[in-house]
Amino acid sequence: MGKTLLRWLLVGLLAGLAVGAISAVVLARFIQLPAVEALTAYQPPAATVVKARDGSVIGSFAAERRLPVTFEQIPKVFRDAVLAVEDANFYKHPGVDPSGMARAFLRNVLSLSKAQGGSTITQQLARNVGIVSREKRLMRKLKEILLAIEIEQRFSKDQIFTLYANQVNFGHGVYGVEAAARFYFGKPASALTLPEAALLAGLPQRP
């Protein structure tokens, strides 16, 4: 009886999410969304360069450490680790993953541990577009879903992953896998070992 109830609960939840996704597409006509072009147009704050009297550079300082890389420069061990931790169905879903949201919902209901989110990599990337944090949670989530769907229509999966890998916050003002690899391990991302890649993949842990 318990398994049957759980199965029907899961089916009902998936059906509800499907209806919600369709409704979200319809509502997109009536909700003003930020432009996804902001993902590629972003310019991090310029570094402050300190020079000596003779003009030689002593050092440079910036609030954000960023070293953008191409998809080919992102090591496979890191890509695999991120997909395992954040979004196993990344290359299959259209921007949102109802099954992942359902699993997160059930884990949160059946467990007393820290709440887990069901946001995809694309949804996490959508948060960087300019969703207003002061908006009500439901509206923020709806905009996030709509933007994720739009991003998937405008960019390839590899482009989306590259944008994510270059913009994700690893703490201490470090953004992107290349800067994180150099900050935490003193090496380029291409030299990351499997354990190091797994550690970096688990640092953001966004819901």
Q: In which residue ranges of the chain is pLDDT below 70?
A: 1-34, 42-49, 57, 59-60, 62, 100-117, 130-136, 205-207
All residues at 6 or more sequence positions from 136 whose CB lies less than 8 Å from its CB, including other chains: none
In a domain, 188, yes or no: yes
Q: What is the pLDDT at residue 207?
A: 42
Identify whether 82 is part of a domain.
yes
User: For residue 181, is it within any domain?
Assistant: yes
Q: What are phi and psi of 169, to 5 degrees?
A: -90, 120
Examine residue 14 and state whether it is found in any structural domain, yes or no: yes
| Predicted local confidence at residue 137, as pLDDT | 78
Residue 22: give its domain's CATH number. Answer: 1.10.3810.10
In a domain, 153, yes or no: yes
DSSP 8-state secondary structure symbol assigned to residue 96: -
How many domains, the chain?
Answer: 1
Strand partners, 175: 66, 169
> Residue 4 carries which side chain, given as an amino acid letter?
T
pLDDT digits (tens, 9 = 90+) for 82-137: 999 999 999 999 999 887 666 655 665 555 455 455 789 999 998 877 665 656 67
Amino acid sitting at position 177: V
Q: Which domain holds residue 89?
A: 2-34+65-202
Residue whose pair of structure tokens reads 């996804």 in the numeric block:
36
3-state SS of the chain: helix, strand, coil percent to 5? Answer: 55, 5, 35
Alpha helices by DSSP H, 155-193:
157-167, 177-185
pLDDT at residue 101, as a whole number: 65
In angstroms, how far is the first alpha carbon of the chain from the final one? 32
Considering the domain boundaries, does residue 150 fall inside one? yes
